[in-house]
Amino acid sequence: ARTRVLASAVRPARVQEAEELRIAPGAPLFEMRRLRYLDDLVVVVEHNRLPLALCPRLADTDFGTASLYATLRTATPGQFPRVADYSVEARQPTPEERELLEITDVTPVLVATQLAYNQDARPLELTVAIYRGDRYRFRASITD
């Protein structure tokens, strides 16, 4: 597995992001877009957004080599994803997604939206992951 960071920055949270992450509009937000590969085949474009206050080190970390979740675990206090709201939908890719995911035919994409919560039930990460439909399968165990 490998990652290619397309962009990362700290910016003010937009109103919709702030509502979902339960932070103030305009609060510092760490944002990253990256391609994720398995066996040198591109699988997903990820767009991660996290409140910078939960882990200020996000702004200075090279996620081309570092793990996002390992970085969160070493924050002070440590941030541990515990549960997430997750939805998946299929659609046709945009021209940019076709290029990034190296789609040359009619392959659809699966768009997964995830809002992960930390050990204190506080929103930790808002992610939209756009998977090549022919390189991703979602499986889940449902418990009561």
CATH number at residue 88: 3.40.1410.10
Is the residue at 141 inside a domain? no
Cα–Cα distances (Å) from 115 to 22, 34, 95, in that order, read 11, 18, 26
Neighbours of 23 (CB within 10 A): 20
Q: What is the pLDDT of residue 9?
A: 97
Q: What's the domain range around 31?
A: 2-135
What's the CA gap between 124 and 98, in Å, rounded?
A: 29
Is the residue at 144 inside a domain? no
User: What does the pLDDT profile of the chain (144 residues) look like in tens digits?
Assistant: 899 999 999 999 999 999 999 999 999 999 999 999 999 999 999 999 999 999 999 999 999 999 999 999 999 999 999 999 999 999 999 999 999 999 999 999 999 999 999 999 999 999 999 999 999 888 888 776
Q: Is the dihedral of CA 93, 98, 102, 107 positive or negative?
A: positive
What's the CA gap between 66 and 58, in Å, rounded?
A: 10
Q: What is the pLDDT of residue 137?
A: 86
Element spanning 38, H or E? strand 28-38
Is the residue at 35 inside a domain? yes
Q: What is the pLDDT of residue 144?
A: 67
The total domain count for the chain is 1
